[in-house]
């Protein structure tokens, strides 16, 4: 199944995907923990969860030279943490299109977005949201806007926080309608940002209370949208980090991978930090677990960002990531 925009923009493809079924058990590379803290002093994932006070790109500058034999990029944690804390093995980083791998590895200008595995490249500009307006709701891909502006789709289980995240990104309380009741969003909703690109709010999947027919219909039209929407730069798959990984999320990630649809993982509700309850885990543990599980589907780590619509954690990082994907897409 070939997609036009992915042929036209091959470098936009995220790291090559390996289909779940194609991967024999035990064939995964070993020896590369998902997140590695070389000194072993502190849990890097918990630092990721806390280090979300990014306000400028400059704060992200990487300070420590990279050793050639042990390529690891560091993230700068909050100042009160006393310097760089988080290290991610080079092979678990997402290097955006347009960034020279050797350059990223040499650390001459390498920077990693806080609370993520994403290297910041030269295309990350115009990341601010000045205007945001609702354009239309569509029930079919063919009804979506035809102006060809690049777009990013937010998808995830019902109630994962898609509409809340969209509101957080555009700093509006009720641009996209949210609800405690799952199933609030039922169409493909286009929101135009700065008159130059779209954020797309999609219905959630896994909404058990919906009538069977409605569920099947949503599933089909979102699939059709993913496979046929030429201006779709990347899907942002939202995963609730306050609960353990769900099979349906793993299946969805696997489906996107198998269909070579560029995907970024956004871990939501990272503000919900209650102590272990009913066998539950902290967000950072759930994030780590989820990534361990998807390592079985993906040859390379997809980009991921930890977020919260309550604290706005990850807001700047998402916008910078979208900016660099978008600007590259526009140029190629």
Ligand X SMILES: Nc1nc2c(ncn2[C@@H]2O[C@H](COP(=O)(O)OP(=O)(O)OP(=O)(O)O)[C@@H](O)[C@H]2O)c(=O)[nH]1
| Rounded CA separation 305/102 (Å) | 23
| Interface pattern 281-310 for ligand X (x via CB under 6 A) | ---------------------------xxx
Give me the least distance between CB of 129 and Mg ion, in Å please: 19
| Interface pattern 128-167 for Mg ion (x via CB under 5 A) | ----------------------------------xx----
Give me the least distance between CB of 156 and ligand X, in Å please: 6
Q: Distance from first CA to last CA of the chain, Å, rounded?
A: 21
C-beta of 115 vs 204, nearer to ligand X: 204
Q: Which of 271, 285, 289, 300 binds ligand X (CB under 6 A)?
A: 271
Hey, CA dihedral for 20, 21, 25, 27, is it positive or negative? negative
Q: Does 324 bind ligand X (CB under 6 A)?
A: no
By Cβ distance, which residue is nearest to ligand X? Answer: 204
Hey, CA dihedral for 307, 312, 317, 321, is it positive or negative? positive
Choices 13-21, 55-63, 178-186, 227-235 (CB under 6 A): range interacting with ligand X: 178-186
Could you say which DSSP state residue 287 is in? H
Hey, CA dihedral for 331, 55, 318, 171, is it positive or negative? negative
Q: Does 327 bind ligand X (CB under 6 A)?
A: no
Q: Which of 51, 116, 163, 264 binds ligand X (CB under 6 A)?
A: 163
- Total residues contacting Mg ion by CB under 5 A comes to 4
C-beta of 85 vs 308, nearer to Mg ion: 308
C-beta of 162 vs 321, nearer to ligand X: 162
C-beta of 157 vs 162, nearer to Mg ion: 162
Strand stretches in 38-181, DSSP E: 72-75, 86-89, 132-138, 151-156
Give me the least distance between CB of 210 and ligand X, in Å please: 10
Q: Which of 183, 187, 251, 285 binds ligand X (CB under 6 A)?
A: 183
| Rounded CA separation 263/248 (Å) | 16
Element (H, E) at 213: helix 212-228
Q: Are 303 and 261 in contact (CB under 8 A)?
A: no
Burial degree of 186 (CB within 10 A; 0-12, 13-18, 19+): middle
Q: Does 268 bind Mg ion (CB under 5 A)?
A: no
C-beta of 89 vs 206, nearer to ligand X: 206
Nearest to residue 8, comparing CAs of 319, 331, 285? 331
Give me the least distance between CB of 165 and ligand X, in Å please: 6
Give me the least distance between CB of 83 and ligand X, in Å please: 28
Q: Are 300 and 15 in contact (CB under 8 A)?
A: yes
Q: Are 73 and 85 in contact (CB under 8 A)?
A: no
C-beta of 291 vs 308, nearer to ligand X: 308
Dihedral, 256, 257, 262, 263 alpha carbons, nearest 10: 70
Q: Which of Mg ion, ligand X, none does 303 bind, CB closer than 5 to 8 A by kind?
A: none
- Give the footprint of ligand X on this chain (CB under 6 A): 156, 158-164, 178-180, 182-185, 203-204, 268-269, 271-272, 308-310
């Amino acid at each position: 199944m070939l997609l036009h925009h992915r042929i036209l923009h091959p470098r936009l493809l995220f790291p090559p995907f390996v289909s779940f079924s194609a991967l024999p058990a035990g064939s995964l590379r070993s020896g590369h923990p998902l997140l590695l803290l070389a000194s072993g002093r502190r849990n890097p994932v918990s630092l990721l969860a806390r280090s979300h006070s990014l306000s400028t790109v400059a704060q992200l500058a990487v300070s420590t030279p990279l050793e050639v034999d042990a390529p690891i990029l560091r993230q700068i944690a909050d100042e009160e943490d006393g310097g760089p804390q988080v290290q991610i093995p080079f092979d678990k980083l997402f290097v955006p299109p347009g960034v020279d791998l050797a350059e990223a590895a040499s650390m001459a200008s390498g920077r990693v977005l806080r609370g993520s595995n994403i290297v910041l490249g030269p295309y990350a500009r115009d990341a601010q949201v000045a205007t945001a307006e609702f354009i239309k709701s569509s029930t079919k891909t063919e009804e979506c806007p035809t102006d060809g502006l690049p777009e990013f789709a937010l998808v995830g289980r019902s109630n994962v926080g898609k509409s809340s995240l969209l509101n957080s990104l555009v700093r509006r309380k009720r641009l996209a309608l949210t609800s405690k009741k799952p199933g609030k969003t039922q169409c493909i909703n286009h929101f135009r940002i700065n008159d130059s690109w779209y954020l797309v709010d999609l219905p959630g999947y896994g909404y058990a209370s919906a009538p069977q027919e409605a569920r099947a219909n949503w599933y089909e039209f979102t699939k059709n949208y993913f496979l046929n929407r030429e201006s779709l730069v990347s899907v942002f798959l939202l995963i609730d980090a306050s609960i353990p990984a769900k099979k349906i999320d793993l299946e969805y990630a696997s489906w996107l991978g198998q269909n070579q649809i560029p995907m970024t993982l956004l871990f939501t509700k990272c503000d919900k930090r209650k102590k272990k309850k009913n066998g539950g885990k902290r967000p950072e543990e759930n994030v780590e677990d989820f990534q361990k599980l998807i390592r079985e589907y993906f040859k390379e780590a997809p980009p991921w960002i930890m977020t919260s619509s309550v604290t706005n954690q990850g807001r700047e990082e998402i916008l910078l990531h979208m900016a660099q994907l978008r600007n590259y897409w526009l140029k190629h």
